[in-house]
Chains A and B, each alone.
Chain A
Amino acid sequence: MASKPTTLYEKIWDAHVIEQRDDGTCLIFIDRHLVHEVTSPQAFEALRMAGRTVRRPELTLAVPDHNLPTTARIDARGNRVPIADPESRNQLEALERNAPEFGVKYFGATAAQQGIVHVVGPEQGFSLPGTTIVCGDSHTACHGGVGALAFGIGTSEVEHVLATQTLQLRKSKTMEVRVEGELGPGVTSKDLIMHIIGTIGTAGGTGHVIEYRGRVFEEMSVEGRLTVCNMSIEGGARAGLIAPDETTFAYLKGRPYAPKGGDWDKAVAYWKTLHTDEGAAFDKSVVINAAEVEPTVTWGTSPEDTVAIGGVVPSPDSFPDASKQRAAQASLDYMGLTPGQRMDEVEVQNIFIGSCTNSRIEDLRAAAEVLKGRKKHPNIKWGIIVPGSGLVKMQAEEEGLDKIFIEAGLEWREPGCSACLGMNPDKVPSGERSASTSNRNFVGRQGPGARTHLVSPAMAAAAAVTGKLTDVRTLS
């Protein structure tokens, strides 16, 4: 009997249903749980109060990232540098206590494996195709890049997963974002996902899980796929998926927590079944023409406020309804931009290359390629490069990328979330602009009053060279 064609999401979902309630709510098994210092202390505390344990500590991996300063963590005498901010220190120490108390594997602040959870998971082979992955962080969607159903959860859900290794969930709707054709030269995965969000809007994927389909994704590196899936939440979708393939398997093979020996072969045989069947129906479908995607920047305070670098700041009047017009005007007021202004004439003072979206080795290589033999423009007061993990940092140093950045006048930092959300000391000053490879240009996201323009790593590097938003393709 031929079974009904199903989507990749439905396959992963169905494989994780423990039981279904009459009202449609499902108890879903969680294969992998990533934990960081900001959204976990209240969850561990609740377990302690209720006398509960972590059900499957070996399926849980803890690593601090949000709070850590990105300056040196070990001094010249080999001693650990304490965190100056007492609240940050307190939160880090809570995780340092909680992980061993509950038997959870922990990569500490000075470990080579430490980094941003969403860089660490795939890098360690902890994030695997076909798994359910959760973390108290909305950018967990990232792990969809290796074909995992991965989504962000709140702290109460962190507690629930720690205690039960499950979540009570309702099935999402399915959404296909199909990209046809090929990306032009100099156009990256970051430009593509920003263009997609600009097209579907920040609520376009709400209630849905997005599957990205088309040859562009098949030809994309795993790093690029992680960048795309990472920003699914910016399009309202709790998760994004790209079907695993030989590129994924090659990326994962030999990583510390990836299956070994006979288990590897069994795993790959299963992973090869993880794709959307021909004829499977999606609840919603969007088609994007890759040839229309240009190097993309944001002009406003929502990730949907995108425009090609060759474009201009839009006029609020150009939006269809009154509430959108008001939102656009408020964005322009905050950003200090005027309608009609050319994007490639907007001067920036700060450069941030990093975040779970763009801090992998490929991202750093792209930035280094632009910066090689060049210096930052005098406009640039502050420019930092924050690798996604200690291992990315080591790899970059092996390739000499750190020297390129330093010679260009930028700072080479320790791994962490950094200026993406400004929880640590890395912030953009009020009223100043940044060209940032992060994922959110919200009001105050990079610091109170900070004005963020989201860009790809190559575009951030180009802005560092010219002191303004710049089409990287014009730098020969």
Chain B
Amino acid sequence: MDKVTTVEGRAYPFGMKNVDTDIIIPAHFLKTVTREGLGKGAFEALRKDPENVFDNPAHAGSTIIIAGDNFGCGSSREHAAWALLDMGVKAVIAPSFSDIFSGNAFKNGILTVALPQEAIDRLMEVAETDPIMIDLETQTVTTPFQDRWTFEIDPFRKFCLSEGLDEVGLTLQSNAAIEGYEARQRTEQPWLASGTGLAA
């Protein structure tokens, strides 16, 4: 994964709340066996409306989405994160995110920045005309108009994002501890260790 330090650019003033992952990428695009090319299906139903924000030339090339609360709810499909990446989105700013989506976004280097609704309202205005800056190191969102908000981020996620870490590799550094756990489970809860080995 590439290191993430800052995201700076124009934003889509989207604003919709309860954006589910079926809206981000509908099921008929999930038949792929790769992670690439899903941008073409992103927000398909909304993009049938010629007035939609994602196809508005004024916002072409935006790297940030400003949205309402509970962004990414519903299905666990990581295709939603892949679709956003493929359309060039590197960060989403919303009052809240579904737990599964924010995990998937993080694994793909997309920042999910939670800010209060007042900040979202202001960012919706700014996004119409001007860029927005997100700095992971200082955990701040700023605009060219002296707006400044700080946001919280899980320290482990911040560390992984800023170092561009491969999480599987990181976990395998704890291999001895995992082996110790497995050995203990075999002794104390032997019924768990056999799994599908039990039946013929």
Contact = CB atoms under 8 A, between A and B. Distances in A.
B138 interface: no
Enumerate the 6 nearest inter-chain pairs by beta-carbon distance, A residue then B residue, closest first.
Answer: A259-B191, A154-B78, A154-B104, A87-B31, A156-B107, A152-B76
A323 B35 contact: no
Interface string A273-305: 000000000000000000000000000001000
Given A160-B171, A302-B18, A260 B177 contact: no
B178 A18 contact: yes
B51 interface: no
A254 to B, nearest CB: 11
Given A156-B78, A443-B22, A168 B73 contact: no
Contacts of A85: 31
B98 A236 contact: yes
Contacts of B167: 156, 160, 168
A421 B81 CA distance: 19
A8 to B, nearest CB: 17
B28 A136 contact: no
Given A18-B178, A154-B107, A444-B45, 16 more contacts: A23-B155, A23-B159, A136-B76, A166-B178, A170-B154, A203-B98, A206-B70, A233-B74, A238-B99, A257-B196, A257-B198, A258-B198, A259-B191, A422-B28, A440-B22, A443-B22
B195 interface: yes
A207 interface: yes
Contacts of A202: 18, 70, 73
A235 to B, nearest CB: 10
Interface in B7-54: 17-18, 20, 22-23, 26-28, 30-35, 45
B189 interface: yes
Interface string A32-57: 10000011011001000010100010
A206 B99 contact: yes
Contacts of A267: 189, 191
B48 to A, nearest CB: 9
A137 B76 contact: yes
A153 B168 contact: no
A399 interface: no
Contacts of A42: 33-35, 78
B174 A442 contact: no
A266 B154 contact: no
B108 to A, nearest CB: 7
Contacts of A266: 189-191
Interface of A: 18-19, 21, 23-25, 27, 29, 31-32, 38-39, 41-42, 45, 50, 52, 56, 58-61, 66-67, 85, 87-88, 90-91, 94, 105, 126, 128, 131, 136-138, 140, 151-157, 159-160, 163-166, 168, 170, 172, 202-203, 206-207, 233, 236, 238, 256-260, 263-264, 266-267, 270, 302, 323-324, 327, 421-423, 440, 442-445, 448
A66 B34 CA distance: 17
Contact of A206 (B98, B174, B185): B98
Contact of B22 (A67, A154, A445): A445
Measured as residues with beta carbon below 8 angstroms from the partner, the interface class of chain B is 35 or more
B33 A105 contact: no
B100 A27 contact: no
A258 to B, nearest CB: 8
Given A41-B33, A94-B33, A160-B171, A23 B156 contact: yes
Contacts of A163: 168, 171-172
A87 B32 contact: yes
A50, A128, A302: most-surrounded residue (chain B CB, <10 A) = A302
A438 to B, nearest CB: 12
B171 A27 contact: yes
Given A128-B192, A206-B96, A236-B70, A160 B156 contact: no
